[in-house]
Amino acid sequence: MKPVELKKDIYWVGIVDWNKRNFHGYSRSPLGTTYNNFLIKDEKTTLIDTVEREFLDELLCNLTQVLGKDGKIDYVVVNHLEPDHAGCLKEIVDRYHPEKIITSPMGEKSMKAHFHYTDWPVEVVPTGSEISIGKHTLQFIETRMLHWPDSMLTYVPEAKIAFSNDAFGQNWATSERFADEVDRPTLEKRMAEYYANIVLPYSPVVQKTLASLAEMELDIDMLCPDHGLLFRGEDVIFATDKYMEFARQEPKNKAVLVYDTMWHSTEKLAKAIATGLVEEGVSVRLMDVKHNHHSEVMTEVFEAAAVLVGSPTHNNGILPGMANMLTYMKGLRPQNKIGAAFGSFGWSGECVKQLTQWLKDMNFEIVDPASVKVKHIPTHETYSDCFELGRTVGRAIKAKIGG
């Protein structure tokens, strides 16, 4: 993609990665991602972030189109040190010899650990710092744990533009650059997916950071994350409001049944429980971990009021696929969830007890009765118990969301 002038003398010089399929451990098939980075032409021409190392040649081509063959970069702002943002930093430093490499206090520590430099001209900018580059001023705000300790936002008041790095991003490879040029429901889904699989553990920090930014009363009419579409005009408020909504984790009238199954008995239990949930007017998603990537499951779990987990007993425990899913879920720390467990067994039945403990360890609200389990093949009585468990969870959901 060619560079795009966002505002006078401010350019998108990023990369569209159409083939990205795994991003930070979650599946991105088939929508890819973008690595957005930006160039400001001024008395001190400034590059904000870079891209993944494999796209160095494309980045250099974009920079040359804006700067010319012999153009120079005076300053480099490093908002975040992960390789998808700083992957080309060493090559940019070697090629352009910038006067300053600007980063946050935590960014300096991370930069040393990544690049082991000895003589780079690094300037550390804690929150409140600002640097003039000519017609434009760069103001720096640390956004720690959105989603790394070194994360930083760079604001240009003269252009009313904020470069927010990972915050407000989505993984979506598009030829369009702005959110108002694409389908809105798909955009919201991509934002929720990114939040659920990347930012979710830091939701309390998101709320505090957004409140702090509101107090600063920054005049922003363009918000530029480092992944996905950029927001302009009224969409800036849309993006910040959506993030606050995500951070509050307010549950919807929805239940997700996540399970693994060996000979289909556990799967049959899941379907019977789902029937009881539907009877109570709850929207239901059944997700077999063999056929749904853990990131897809987590995106559904994110907005659900209840999560019911199932597995047969396997070697006195649960199936590895379920253990993988629960480990991933626990790390993302979803809040405000109702939980229940179900499963089948042959000669020992530890699975349901272990599944319930997983839910308790994640601070889920466990319903009573909390589980159903069956030896070998479900009977009519078992299905009746499953149906009632679904209804019990459904009533708990309605009580929780005020339905």
Mean residue pLDDT of the chain comes to 90
Assess whether pLDDT exceeds 90 at residue 263.
no
Q: Identify the band that residue 378 occupies on the pLDDT scale cut at 50, 70 and 90.
A: confident
Q: Identify the band that residue 79 occupies on the pLDDT scale cut at 50, 70 and 90.
A: very high
Report the C-alpha gap between 277 and 398 in whole angstroms. 11
Assess whether pLDDT exceeds 70 at residue 374.
no
Most confident range, picked from 134-143, 307-316, 393-402 = 134-143
In this structure, what are the phi and psi dihedrals at residue 304, rounded to the nearest 5 degrees? -85, 150
Would the pTM count as exceeding 0.75? Answer: yes
- Give which of 320, 382, 327 is closest to 351, Cα–Cα: 320
Report the C-alpha gap between 245 and 265 in whole angstroms. 38
Report the C-alpha gap between 166 and 85 in whole angstroms. 9
Instruction: Label each residue of 185-244 as H, E or C.
Output: HHHHHHHHHHHHHHHHHHHHHHHHHHHHHHHHCCCCCEEEECCCCEEECCHHHHHHHHHH
Strand partners, 46: 40, 75
- Which residues are known catalytic residues? 24, 80, 82, 84, 147, 166, 194, 227
How far is residue 300 CA from its own chain's centroid? 13
Taking only the tens place, the pLDDT of each residue in 329-357 is: 899 999 999 999 988 766 666 788 889 88
What percent of the chain is predicted at pLDDT more than 70? 94
Report the C-alpha gap between 237 and 177 in whole angstroms. 18
Taking only the tens place, the pLDDT of each residue in 159-193 is: 999 999 889 999 999 999 999 999 999 999 999 99
Report the C-alpha gap between 124 and 129 in whole angstroms. 9
In this structure, what are the phi and psi dihedrals at residue 291, rounded to the nearest 5 degrees? -115, 0
List Cβ neighbours of 192 (8 Å cut-off, separation of 6 or more): 246, 299, 302, 303
Q: Which one-letter amino acid corresponds to residue 220? A: I
Strand partners, 142: 152
3-state secondary structure of 35: strand
Which domains does the chain carry? 4-248 (3.60.15.10), 252-397 (3.40.50.360)
Residue 60 confidence (pLDDT) = 95
- Give which of 353, 362, 374, 275 is closest to 325, Cα–Cα: 362
Pick the more confident residue, 348 or 57. Answer: 57
Residue 111 confidence (pLDDT) = 92
The position carrying tokens 């709850």 is: 282
Report the C-alpha gap between 230 and 168 in whole angstroms. 9
Integer-rounded Cα Rg, in Å, for the chain is 24
